Structure 1
Amino acid sequence: MAYLQGFTPTLKLGFVFSSLVSPKQRHPLVFPSSKCGFSLKFNDGSFKFQNPLIKGTKSVELDRFVTSDDEEEEEEMGDGFLEAIEELERMTREPSDVLEEMNDRLSARELQLVLVYFSQDGRDSWCALEVFDWLRKENRVDKETMELMVSIMCGWVKKLIQEQHGVGDVVDLLVDMDCVGLRPGFSMIEKVISLYWDMGEKEGAALFVEEVLRRGVSWNEGDPQGHKGGPTGYLAWKMMAEGDYKGAVRLVIRFREAGLKPEIYSYLVAMTAIVKELNEFAKALRKLKSFARAGLVTEFDREDVELAENYQSELLADGARLSNWVIQDGSHPSLHGAIHERLLAMYICAGHGIEAEKQLWEMKLVGKEADRGLYDIVLAICASQKETAATGRLMTQLEFASSAQKKKSLSWLLRGYIKGGHFNEAAETVMKMLELGIYPEYLDRVAVVQGLRKRVHQNGNLDTYFKLCKSLSEANLIGPCLVYLYTRKYKLWVVKMV
């Protein structure tokens, strides 16, 4: 006999089945928790029902806690549930035929418990899938039943991973799940990747994704334009979240070069990973240079510089390849702006001014306007590399800009010249700013004056220095000053008031 203890609003359903012979060994099996709260426990304790026709040598107790609005405090479990288990265990008829015949005699809770019963070790798990398929076709899959079946599936997958089964077995299970119409509101493929990842099986996660791509298993693509979704992109994103940027890039490229077809979104994730890797690499270089200036490490030699440049070049080449693949695979035009945006970020991190400027105009052509701050950063990079033509093109953007924006952009231009050591151009920029009524920052003015002073000692050219001092004095940014020049040939000092 099956029994039910009813409470309002919570019901506890306990079912105990036993064979004629009760074993002494205990085999606990608990599935991942869900809102349904099912748990299965094998035991050799008391039992309420005996039937020699039910297969198995172990007794099984099924406990379930569910919320309910049913006001009845107690109800009897029908005999239909036990008969259904008995008929399904015999396997003489199709599960759908058995359930169709007993449809009116089985409640929703009884059908859920049938699923739980056949999800145990030693039972016919395919029967559980067929029961769910029948429920779906009969439109009897409610939210609770769906959560239960998803919990059962996750338990099966987790067990396969723990027992070191091949990724092919895991993919087979997902295919079976799809065949019976088990489609939860999230990607089961992503869930499996997370299970591998959380259990420390990172290589297993990569092999699983590779098998999914090889078989062409479908997944939730997200929106129709391909902006989201897909196993490769999801795994690459998880790798990137842990700081393994280069690993994420290698993963996507490896799958593509192996003849597989990763989703377009994964290429964008890999390009983002390249941006982050270049940014971290640039930070590391700056830190090393500061250590070298402090005498903590040796200065970079030619070989070190070449290694750094080659590493950057390889990353940029990978980024260019990924962007080409996005376009080759027929991506939606709306993605083209995202491609150029990532390429722009790559070239900025690598300090490649000309290439970065090109991406700014490419973004304009596809209708995606870059932030004004990015124009200023590229302007500074081009100025530091003394790319006169590129700097001139970018400066045309300032014709109709506000005073505040002009000051900001000209300050970036000035700092670019200072960083590149181009102090004549920096002085001209300061004088241009003063003509427009814009006062450069104090530290910028000092850097330019000191830079020009060093140049005077090297080449004796005073013209630019005089002009700058005069402009600063007229703007009341410096007081009157005396300029001293000593001519060794004539042993003569020349003094001029500026």
Structure 2
Amino acid sequence: MAAANGIAIFANLGLVNSCSSKFKVQYFCRGLSVISRQRTGFVVAKRRKFGEFRLFNSVELDKFITSDDEDEMSEGFFEAIVELERMVREPSDVLEEMNDKLSARELQLVLVYFSQEGRDSWCALEVFEWLRKENRVDKETMELMVSIMCEWVKKLIEGKSEIGDVVDLLVDMDCVGLKPSFSMIEKVISLYWEAGKKDEAVLFVKEVLRRRIAYSDGNKEEHKGGPTGYLAWKMMVEGNYKDAVNLVINTRECGLKPEVYSYLIAMTAVVKELNELAKALRKLKGFTKAGLIAELDAENARLIEKYQADLLDDGVRLSDWVMQDGGPSLYGVAHERLLAMYICSGRGAEAERQLWEMKLVGKEADKDLYDIVLAICASQKESGAIGRLLTRMEVTSALRKKKTLSWLLRGYLKGGHFDNAAETVYKMLDLGLCPEFLDRAAVLQGLRRRIQQSGVLETYLRLCKRLSEASLIGPCMVYLHLKKHKLWIIKML
């Protein structure tokens, strides 16, 4: 009957840019409408006119369905559509009765039909649930239903629907057993983000946590992501590091419980923000030296120091939550993040403590990190930390010793501790190691400036002598002017 009249039942699907499916629908609409009654659902029912030719290129499987395919559809297919539209019986009863009459392809088309705007969206979910229970959901059908679901979510977001409506749809998806190979929650966050609705994305994440909705992506391995961490990562990608930190902390402090991994993501954001602050301060210092801007006054310097201290406090708070909620396997990662924070902020003593904390939990830091922390401690003349860090050097190769002592030397130079820098040069020479030319020159230059300011030249003369003996500099003459006696003294080294 209906088939004889060539019913075109798939008009105006309007599915746009969905997920990963590969189904394209194309057909010619030719007449006769089918009764449609709307039940409570997420797609607003709106009857449209038939009789137009359209190409819908968002629900993509491997084939085209054209007007020619209508002749290949069985009588049972059209009967199933009519019965489901009448809503006299449960969809599962209708499909059970016509199970043998419908092919896998026709069942997919039933899903497509009820997914279109103006049709009963719940019926599509009920049909899919029946298919799953009957073990008739193959990969292609799963991809089709995921595409439909993504499009429904997109329409809700674009239509300014309530956050709760979107969450309800995800709950319904889970109830019918729709399990995509990716996290639908992350997909929704991305849709909000791409639509420029960043505040709504935050509210959505909090609603998901409030309802305690599972967010696993189906991976058998432990799920490390989650809504809070994923949204924080999205913020980090755009360079909004402080926003990412605030998201995680505020979510925790308002009584919700973000996933543990989100704390580590927020700690990474703290590291990046501290690094950006350090780069900005270096630029500022360069502009000041060039005379382009005035030096910072005491109030601005205090504000910068407070901002850095607040960031470090946030990082420590996040690490405490990792220790409380996470397992021992995350302790080393938390200490590693803290180490990076203290390095970026130039806190030598705290950074050194994190190195040993990492070692205690079985996570050995990279050797270069020990050298970097050593240089920071040297610039601050932290004698105890320097001594402890240098004990590792005794059992290393000559090349490693030279690298470590070079970092120590540069740390002393940065802090203006030229006597200690000279002593480091002596130690390198005693070990048969040759300091780099720029390092030697920097020490000599620093000592020369000090002579001009204080008149103390013993360290300078001694260093020149040692370098000359090692054939690292040629013979040199030192001129000393005694103003009181109006006397010049010349000494050959």
* Cα shift readout 1:157-213 (whole Å, capped 9, x = no counterpart): 010011101110000000000000001111000111111111111111111111101
For 1:227 and 1:89, locate their aligned partners in 2 and report how far apart those are by CA, in whole Å. 41
Q: Which residue of 1 aligns with 2:41?
A: none
Q: Which residue of 1 aligns with 2:191?
A: 195
* Cα shift readout 1:345-392 (whole Å, capped 9, x = no counterpart): 000000000000011111111111111111111000000001111111
Distance change >3 Å, CA 173–CA 52, structure 1 → 2 = closer
Residue 206 of structure 1 is aligned with which of 181, 202, 208? Answer: 202
Residue 171 of structure 2 is aligned with which of 175, 188, 199? Answer: 175
For 2:60 and 2:203, locate their aligned partners in 1 and report how far apart those are by CA, in whole Å. 38
Matched, 1:16 2:8: yes
For 2:415 and 2:242, locate their aligned partners in 1 and report how far apart those are by CA, in whole Å. 30
* Cα shift readout 1:39-95 (whole Å, capped 9, x = no counterpart): 488x9x523xx4765669546689787547xxxx98731111111111111212111
Matched, 1:415 2:400: no
User: Is contact 1:337-1:368 (8 Å) kept?
Assistant: yes
Residue 419 of structure 2 is aligned with which of 424, 447, 450? Answer: 424
Residue 36 of structure 1 is aligned with which of 11, 22, 33? Answer: 22
1:250-289 aligned within 5 A? 250-289=246-285
User: Is contact 1:275-1:346 (8 Å) kept?
Assistant: yes
Distance change >3 Å, CA 344–CA 422, structure 1 → 2 = same
> Match of 2:491, SS?
strand
> Match of 2:478, SS?
strand
Residue 161 of structure 1 is aligned with which of 157, 162, 170? Answer: 157
Q: Which residue of 2 aligns with 1:348?
A: 343
1:236-315 aligned within 5 A? 236-315=232-311
1:68-467 aligned within 5 A? 76-220=72-216, 228-329=224-325, 331-467=326-462
Aligned-pair CA distance for 1:466 = 1.9
* Cα shift readout 1:124-160 (whole Å, capped 9, x = no counterpart): 1111101100000000001111111011111110100
For 2:409 and 2:47, locate their aligned partners in 1 and report how far apart those are by CA, in whole Å. 84
User: Is contact 1:228-1:265 (8 Å) kept?
Assistant: yes
User: Is contact 2:371-2:404 (8 Å) kept?
Assistant: yes
For 1:167 and 1:183, locate their aligned partners in 2 and report how far apart those are by CA, in whole Å. 21
For 1:97 and 1:171, locate their aligned partners in 2 and report how far apart those are by CA, in whole Å. 29
Q: Identify the range of structure 1 (80-89 vs 354-363) with the bigger mean alpha-carbon deviation.
A: 80-89
For 1:474 and 1:337, locate their aligned partners in 2 and report how far apart those are by CA, in whole Å. 47
Matched, 1:483 2:469: no
Question: Where in structure 2 are there 5+ consecutive unaligned residues?
Answer: 38-45
User: Is contact 2:374-2:386 (8 Å) kept?
Assistant: yes
- Count of residue pairs the alignment pairs up: 474
Q: Which residue of 2 aligns with 1:470?
A: 465
> Match of 2:268, SS?
helix
> Match of 1:17, SS?
coil
> Match of 1:29, SS?
coil
Aligned-pair CA distance for 1:294 = 0.9
* Cα shift readout 1:8-55 (whole Å, capped 9, x = no counterpart): xxxxxx96039xxxxxxx9672343453324488x9x523xx476566
Q: Which residue of 1 aligns with 2:42?
A: none
For 1:46, give the aligned amino acid: R
User: Is contact 1:2-1:77 (8 Å) kept?
Assistant: no
For 2:228 and 2:474, locate their aligned partners in 1 and report how far apart those are by CA, in whole Å. 65
**Larger RCO, structures 1/2 (Cα 8 Å, 6+ apart):** 2
User: Is contact 2:355-2:370 (8 Å) kept?
Assistant: yes
TM-score, L = length of structure 2: 0.90
Q: Which residue of 1 aligns with 2:30?
A: 46
For 1:222 and 1:426, locate their aligned partners in 2 and report how far apart those are by CA, in whole Å. 57
User: Is contact 1:157-1:170 (8 Å) kept?
Assistant: yes
Q: Identify the range of structure 1 (319-328 vs 303-312) with the bigger mean alpha-carbon deviation.
A: 303-312
Distance change >3 Å, CA 100–CA 29, structure 1 → 2 = same
For 2:60 and 2:373, locate their aligned partners in 1 and report how far apart those are by CA, in whole Å. 62
Q: Identify the range of structure 1 (357-366 vs 303-312) with the bigger mean alpha-carbon deviation.
A: 303-312
User: Is contact 1:16-1:59 (8 Å) kept?
Assistant: no
For 2:444 and 2:322, locate their aligned partners in 1 and report how far apart those are by CA, in whole Å. 49
TM-score, L = length of structure 1: 0.90
User: Is contact 2:479-2:490 (8 Å) kept?
Assistant: yes
Distance change >3 Å, CA 318–CA 181, structure 1 → 2 = same
For 1:292 and 1:395, locate their aligned partners in 2 and report how far apart those are by CA, in whole Å. 35
For 1:313 and 1:446, locate their aligned partners in 2 and report how far apart those are by CA, in whole Å. 36
For 1:106 and 1:59, locate their aligned partners in 2 and report how far apart those are by CA, in whole Å. 28
Distance change >3 Å, CA 27–CA 103, structure 1 → 2 = closer
Distance change >3 Å, CA 54–CA 245, structure 1 → 2 = closer
Q: Identify the range of structure 1 (367-376 vs 453-462) with the bigger mean alpha-carbon deviation.
A: 453-462
Aligned-pair CA distance for 1:306 = 1.1
* Cα shift readout 1:203-235 (whole Å, capped 9, x = no counterpart): 111111111011111111787885621011011
Distance change >3 Å, CA 40–CA 236, structure 1 → 2 = farther
Taking only aligned residues, the RMSD between alpha carbons, in angstroms, comes to 2.5
Distance change >3 Å, CA 141–CA 27, structure 1 → 2 = closer
Aligned-pair CA distance for 1:312 = 0.7
Aligned-pair CA distance for 1:460 = 2.7
Question: Where in structure 1 are there 5+ consecutive unaligned residues?
Answer: 5-13, 19-25
Q: Which residue of 2 aligns with 1:23?
A: none
Aligned-pair CA distance for 1:488 = 3.1
Aligned-pair CA distance for 1:456 = 2.1
Matched, 1:496 2:480: no
User: Is contact 1:54-1:86 (8 Å) kept?
Assistant: no
For 1:149, give the aligned amino acid: M
Distance change >3 Å, CA 227–CA 431, structure 1 → 2 = farther
Distance change >3 Å, CA 248–CA 418, structure 1 → 2 = same
Q: Identify the range of structure 1 (162-171 vs 86-95) with the bigger mean alpha-carbon deviation.
A: 86-95
